[in-house]
Amino acid sequence: MGERRGLWLLLSSSLVYEAFHHLIGARAWLRRFTREAIRAGAGDRVLDVGCGPGALLHYLPKSTSYIGFDRSKVYIERARRMHGGRGEFICDDLANLAAYGIHSVDVAVAIGILHHLDDRLASDLLRATANILRPGGRLITVDPCFDESQSFLQRAFMSYDRGTYVRPFGRYVALCCAAIGRPRATLKQGYFPFPHSVCMMEAARAPVQDLAAVRPRNLRAPHPAAP
C-alpha cells in the first residue's frame, strides 16, 4: 500500500484515528452514507474492506451479518474490543482477501482504500471483491480524486492525502469497468470541513444468466455502454 508518512503515522493509533475522524465530521458523514448509499436490509451480508476500527458497524441494522477486513492489527483489535461478538473481523493484507472463502455478500464497501493501491493491486482487489458478491450484490467505493472542475485548493488538499495513488475521476471508473462493470459514479466536491473532491462508485454484479454475456464485454472495453 502507498501511504505518506510523517504526521500521517499518528493515524496508526486507533484512538488517534477515531479522534481525527470525529474531528473532521467523518462519523456524521458515515452515518448518512450508511443510510443513503449502503441501504443494508435485515439479514444482509456486508463486507467492509479496509474496515479500520469497525466504525461502520455502529450504523448498520442489528440483524446485519458483518465482516470487517483490515491489515492493521491495532485497528482490528480495537474493533473486536468495541463490538464483542457482533461481526467478524479478519486481520490480513488486502491482497489475501480471496483466500478467505467469503461468499454471497450483499454489499461490499471500500471507503478510502483504492487510493492507497497502485493500479495492479486496485484491480486485483476490485476483482476479488466482485467475485465475493452474490449475483445482484453491490460494490460501493469512496476515494479522493482529481478532476478538471476542482479548484486549486481542492486539488492541493487531494495531492497531500495520506494515500499516494489519488487518481483522476475517470481512472477509478475505468478500473471498476474492467473488474465488475460500469459503475454509477458521482463526483462530490466541497470545502467543509476541508477542500475535497471525492469519487463515489456503485456497481452491481450481474445476475447469473447475464454473467457470461456481460463480463467479457466489460473486460474488453474500459467504458462499456450502460445496459
pLDDT tens track, the chain, 227 positions: 555 444 445 455 655 656 655 556 667 888 899 999 999 988 999 999 999 999 999 999 999 999 999 999 998 999 999 998 899 999 999 999 999 999 999 999 999 999 999 999 999 999 999 999 999 999 999 999 999 999 999 999 899 877 899 999 999 999 999 999 999 999 999 987 778 899 999 999 988 655 444 444 443 334 444 43
* Ordered domains of the chain (ranges, CATH): 6-220 (3.40.50.150)
Is 162 within 8 Å of 11 (Cβ atoms)? yes
Nearest-5° angle of CA 223, CA 226, CA 227?
A: 135
What's the one-letter identity of residue 60? L
CA distance 56 to 61: 11
Which residue's C-alpha cell is 458515515?
Answer: 30
Q: Per DSSP, which regions of 20-157 are E strands? A: 45-49, 65-70, 88-91, 105-111, 133-146
What's the one-letter identity of residue 199? C
Phi/psi for 141 (5° steps) reads -125, 150
Name residues whose C-beta falls within 8 Å of residue 14's C-beta, 6 or more positions apart in sequence. 52, 53, 72, 74, 75, 77, 78
Is the pTM above the cut of 0.75?
yes
Residue 155: which H helix or E strand, with range?
A: helix 152-159
Residue 116: helix, strand or coil by DSSP? Answer: helix
